[in-house]
Amino acid sequence: MFKSKPTLTQRLEALERATELAEGIYTPEELERLDKVIASAAERRALSAEHTVVGFFGATGSGKTSLFNAVVGEDLGKTAARRPTTSSPLAAVWHPEGSEELLDWLEVEDRRNRPGDFAKNAGPLILLDLPDFDSVEPIHREIATRLAGQVDVLVWVTDPEKYADTIIHDHFIRPHAEHSAVTLAVLNKSDKLRPEDLGPVKNSLEQLLVEDGLKKIKVIATSAKTGAGVDDIRAAIAKVASDHKAQSARLEADIAAATGPLLGSEKLSKVPDSAKKNLDNALAEAAGADHISRATAAAYRKRLGQATGWLLTSWMLRLRPDPLRRLGLREDADEVGVHRTSMPALDASRRAVANRGVRDYAAVLEAGLPARWADALHDETEAVVEKLPEQLDRAAAGTRLPAQPSKAWGLFTFIQWLALLAALVGVIWYLLVAFLPGALVPLLGEDLTPDVEGWPIPTLLILGGVLLGILLGLLTAVFGGFISSGVRSRTRRALRREVAEMSQAEITAPLLDVRGRYLEFREQLQSATGR
């Protein structure tokens, strides 16, 4: 299905949304042009939609007023001396009903109503004869400039002597290059050229207009003195007026002219998945993933040794500080509150790793952004970098660390206690034999130390308990070493997940928000220009 072209109302709504998105990115002065287009469009659309307003603009000596009179069909210019001031524009109005408010908005006081129709099917029409835009009087230039931004159709009147004047092209025609659809170009005083020179001069002017940015523009050669080309310019004006599209075309051209400098030419490429992965790798390194994972593995071995080691020596492990608690880390990361670690603040090298990771990620997002949006992304990046040490510390403190041995190891603890109990029974047995033999006679009879295969039972209890405790402690220590390697890997993964979640919320989200605002801004500008 083909996408329908947005209406003028939709385009203006898109322009308003784009202006909202651009607040804080561009200066108020830079957004002023968009605001003016929106305000001007609202004002123009509230006024007569039936009347087409055509303005004659020209330099001093171009014969603009004479051509205006010829097109109107009456020498209205003769009354110029009776205008309120020499800077006042003159309006020739066909079908004046409903034109008063429009002319008030244009600030045109000198109004001349014309009988009948300007041309067949031309409808209500207003022709304006305007002050010279290169006048030495500033007020003249101000009026010409203001009305160039208000009329529906612009008629640029030049002559063979001044058609290449830089003032005309640089200050008036080029700024309205987007208005080709509502622009007529006239080479007046063509009677002053030899017939063989007229074509080359017209072609030269057309080339200059193309260089100014106008598209598909044709120059109409006229002579107010001989009447040559006057019918052509009347026909061109009548055609534009009869189409009843000049007002919309003018507003659309205003939108295009205002949005063009902001739209940019580059289409942003998709952010590769590797950018976020590289960011998380750098942050995990800066957060001390290796150090924390080693500490977690060491804590696991220590706690396993305390729980399953030989009871006569494992108590000494309790005298050693716990590696995790020394860092201020805890396994129960679900506790309510903001956690902090006791790890040393990021040193210069770790901070450089983190900052570089963030800035490298921002550089990927920045690729293709216009300068203003790139500056906004840079500012947001620096704000993120400022809070980075605190965020990394929180991520480390909030990580659930697998340092506590499984409860299944409790069986080995139970066996260790049984082994110790057996050894103690053997020792107590010998003590009773030595010091209180009478206490054992009722139980054992005359043989106080019965044996098994020649080994006294108390000796077997002592040796068995001690050897079992030592062997079990060694066995769990070996297994604990293997398991702690997995604990170290799981810790790294857990910390990376926590860092990745932190970076998503605190880094990528705000940076992607700037990029997303630009993408929506660009989309709204494209909608405003009808793309």
What tens digit of pLDDT does each residue of 317-376 get?
776 777 666 666 655 544 433 344 555 566 788 889 999 999 999 999 999 899 899 999
Look up the pTM and report it: 0.70
Nearest in space to 148 (alpha carbons), one of 164, 128, 167, 163: 128
Give the CA-trace dihedral at 322, 326, 328, 330, to 10 degrees.
-10
What tens digit of pLDDT does each residue of 120-144 get?
888 999 999 999 888 888 898 899 9
Q: What helix, strand, coil percent values describe the chain, rounded to 5?
A: 65, 10, 30
Point out the least confidently predicted range of 14-23, 225-234, 302-311, 321-330. Answer: 321-330
Q: How many CA atoms lie within 13 A of 75 on its CB side?
A: 5
- Go through 144-166 and write b for each residue having 16 or more CB atoms within 10 A of its CB, e for each that does not: beebbbbbbbbbbbbbbebbebe
Domains along the chain with CATH numbers: 50-246 (3.40.50.300), 273-528 (no CATH)
pLDDT at 337: 33
Q: Which two tokens stand for residue 357?
A: 């990771």
Question: Does residue 211 surpass a pLDDT of 90?
Answer: yes
Question: Does residue 80 surpass a pLDDT of 80?
Answer: no
Mean residue pLDDT across the chain: 85
Query: Do residues 115 and 24 make contact, with C-beta atoms less than 8 angstroms apart?
Result: no
pLDDT at 333: 43
pLDDT at 317: 72
Contacts of 482 (CB under 8 A, 6+ apart): none
The mean pLDDT value for 473-484 works out to 82
pLDDT at 82: 43
What tens digit of pLDDT does each residue of 275-316 get?
999 999 999 988 887 888 887 887 778 887 777 888 887 777
What tens digit of pLDDT does each residue of 239-284 get?
999 888 888 888 888 888 888 888 766 678 889 999 999 999 999 9
Q: Which two tokens stand for residue 472?
A: 């079990």
Query: Do residues 104 and 110 make contact, with C-beta atoms less than 8 angstroms apart?
Result: no
pLDDT at 334: 44
Question: Does residue 84 surpass a pLDDT of 60?
Answer: no
pLDDT at 335: 42
What tens digit of pLDDT does each residue of 383-406 get?
999 999 888 888 887 777 776 777
What tens digit of pLDDT does each residue of 401-443 get?
776 777 777 888 898 899 999 999 999 988 888 788 777 777 7
pLDDT at 70: 94
